[in-house]
Structure 1
Amino acid sequence: MDLRVDLPYETRDAGNFTWIVFRPIFFCYEKQGMSITVLDCLMQKLPILQKHGITHIICIRQNIEANFIKPNFQQLFRYLVLDIADNPVENIIRFFPMTKEFIDGSLQTGGKVLVHGNAGISRSAAFVIAYIMETFGVKYRDAFAYVQERRFCINPNAGFVHQLQNTKL
């Protein structure tokens, strides 16, 4: 399958995920419907998102990132935008119910979800970990290991980790 756009990239299969690595940014597509990624410019990735059938996008940003992490294609994708600072004191638990509902709704209708933030390391990883914990009833360490096997550089901040470890999802 040729996924080339006008950017250097490489692909690697990793279990249920196909990683598409752009230099210097990363994109991860999960074959079973959910993705975690960092996309610094969705405008350049539209052909790839369309080719992979992405239908829903969770855009996680803080207020100061709103000018460049934003819903660029509202006519093509359904968005959930979460304004969350990558700060250990940020209460992310309050966003989990709406995030799970958004993901479940997409997957139930055959959609595919992309979860992205500025770096794809802390906030987006925390939300994917939370979704896996709640959906499959696993502990934080198991959900973290599952996601890290597919995106090696995840590193939710200490406050997010504490919340995930101490909240029954």
Structure 2
Amino acid sequence: MGERDASATPSCYELDKILNRGCAAYAPCDQVWPRVYIGDEATAKDKPKLKKLGITHILNAAEGTWNNVDTGAGYYDDMAAVYHGVVASDTPSFDLGQYFFSAADFIATALADPNNKLLVHCVMGRSRSASLFLAYLMIGEGMTLADAAEHVKTRRRILPNWGFLKQLRELDAQLLERRRDGPHGGD
């Protein structure tokens, strides 16, 4: 058997192998990119820790009251942090892809100022938040899904559910097609 085409989107099974091989140990919060942390609910609610880290922007990938992290923008008023919430369920049938581009825009805007630091979180900091950050790396940094997964997994133990992996695969395929077509849309 030959090797997989480097430009092809890996299968969910291959992604699962990538994410589980040589991954970081689980921790409540990890820096996964310059000035970007992925964390869990306890980290998101620990304002003294967030202040110590210098967090200026918060992306809650599990906003809401039912089985989520019910903080909201008002929770961080005393920190003057810029808040963006995504109401998402960590179930394979949930369409997280509808938030890939808006979350990537929020992350890119936060990182545009070198003084900003961002926390991306959900309940465990392993599925929803990780999926949104992987989407950012693909959209905003031009990485393939495989490269983004390799990068993040060495810094944080992430486990996007299979439904999110499928949605990330679809995004990867769309972005690869755009790159192949180039700036002229295939003319």
Q: Residue 97 of structure 1 aligns to which amino acid in structure 2?
A: F
1:112 paired to 2:117? yes
What is the total number of aligned residue pairs between the two structures?
144
Matched with 1:35 is 37
Matches within 5 A, 1:19-168: 21=27, 26-30=28-32, 32-40=34-42, 42-43=44-45, 45-61=46-62, 63=64, 64-66=66-68, 68-71=69-72, 72-76=75-79, 77-110=81-114, 111-152=116-157, 154-167=158-171, 168=174
Q: Which has the higher contact order (CA 8 A, sep 6+)?
A: 2
CA distance in 2, matches of 1:62, 1:50: 21
Matched with 1:8 is none
Moved over 4 A (4+): none
**Does the Cα contact within 8 Å between 2:131 and 2:164 map onto a contact in 1?**
yes
Which is richer in helix? 2
Q: TM-score, normalised by structure 1?
A: 0.76
Q: Residue 112 of structure 1 aligns to which amino acid in structure 2?
A: K
Which is richer in strand? 1
**Does the Cα contact within 8 Å between 1:60 and 1:81 map onto a contact in 2?**
yes
**Does the Cα contact within 8 Å between 1:62 and 1:86 map onto a contact in 2?**
no
CA distance in 2, matches of 1:99, 1:113: 12
| Pairwise CA distance, 1:20 | 10
For the aligned residue pairs, the C-alpha RMSD in angstroms reads 2.2
**Does the Cα contact within 8 Å between 2:134 and 2:148 map onto a contact in 1?**
yes
Matched with 1:5 is none
Residues 49/90 of structure 1: CA separation in 2 closer, same or farther (3 Å cut): same
Which of these two proteins has the greater Rg computed from alpha carbons?
2
**Does the Cα contact within 8 Å between 2:58 and 2:83 map onto a contact in 1?**
yes
